[in-house]
A and B are shown apart, each in its own frame.
Chain A
């Protein structure tokens, strides 16, 4: 599957599916608390499964600096 990371710069990865979202984040070494995972605009939870044909987005929620 194609994984598009927006953390926040765009980066693409290829991973073999099917995978649970929790496992996918582990393989990417991403802390789940800091991101939202989406497939075609649908938000996924950690127990959802994504397949080989899917394009998955991992969007960072952490914003930086002082405000």
Chain B
């Protein structure tokens, strides 16, 4: 197989586009794809201060690298979830990348900020780990972005993530979740703009980029991801993709272009009004937001079980300032 640009031996094939590239032209192609997605959906302006949510995995590290190369002023945000050695190695990979490039990195350790780790939070509230983890991450990322005045939050969601979420939502006809899919979620009062610049690139393409750029990243998976439904959906989509290249992209793009607008127009209430949470002031559809509810409940049990001292009261304001680490 030959590079479509220079004719040298190809290193990466992009079958959904019937193309293959040598390492040099693959990197060029990849970065161009991201740039195009950003422009097409007006995700970011050149002057924006961008907060990149970095887990330490290939997607978020690749995203940070591309945004940096495209000239955006980026700051990384890494959450320490407290999931044993996995979380520690995630932080190491993230710090190594930020350190090598001299990029500012904010690390929020949940145990320092809110006194409990994700596994503790799940156990105390008796809820699924990924569910309390997801809502905590969304909340803290948004809070940091709003408080520190960032113009947008960028996340590493890729084509496989988006297509598998779509498949899951379609299989269960989750109409309210369906109308919230998309590469850009606009800013609202105390809600930072969220963008997904990698949403049209596959995981395989992102891995190829990470390897060719020799970026440090965490290959290991979170122990709680084992058996996740999303993995089943991804595997199913990849089997279809192998027989019929381009299916994942068409599935997602055509949905966003043709179906979502119809759904949005046809749904009764349309958009649900957001109010300020009574506890923290951040947007919610109820009286108290899911984050405050969940953490408040966890604190009650933690006091009963004497994991936290009897006088501990949950406060949505974190016990630390969100400041970037000094690059060493």
Residue A47 CB within 8 A of the other chain: yes
A62-B231, A63-B203, A66-B228 given; A45·B238 CB < 8 A: no
Q: Which of A42, A44, A61, A66 contacts B134 (CB 8 A)?
A: A66
- Check A65 against B11 for contact (C-beta < 8 Å): no
Q: Which of A47, A48, A67 contacts B157 (CB 8 A)?
A: A67
Tell me the chain B residues, 168-223 only, with Cβ under 8 Å from chain A: 202-204, 206-208, 211-212, 219-222
Contacts of A59 in B (CB 8 A): 207, 211, 219
Chain B interface, >50% SS class: helix
Give 10 nearest A-B pairs by CB, closest first.
Answer: A65-B225, A64-B225, A61-B207, A33-B238, A43-B11, A61-B203, A61-B204, A45-B1, A33-B241, A64-B231
- Check B231 against A67 for contact (C-beta < 8 Å): no
Kindly report which residue of chain B lies nearest to residue A57, judged by CB atoms: B211
Contacts of B219 in A (CB 8 A): 6, 8, 59
Residue A28 CB within 8 A of the other chain: no
- Check B211 against A38 for contact (C-beta < 8 Å): yes
Residue B104 CB within 8 A of the other chain: no
Per-residue CB contact flags for chain A residues 17-34 toward chain B (1 = under 8 Å, else 0) read 000000000000001111
Contacts of B234 in A (CB 8 A): 34, 62
Residue B13 CB within 8 A of the other chain: yes
Kindly report which residue of chain B lies nearest to residue A41, judged by CB atoms: B211
Contacts of B239 in A (CB 8 A): 31, 33
Min CB–CB distance B28 → chain A (angstroms): 15
Q: In the complex, A42 Cα to B211 Cα: how many Å?
A: 9
- Check A66 against B133 for contact (C-beta < 8 Å): yes
Min CB–CB distance A62 → chain B (angstroms): 5
Q: Which of A33, A35, A43, A66 contacts B12 (CB 8 A)?
A: A43
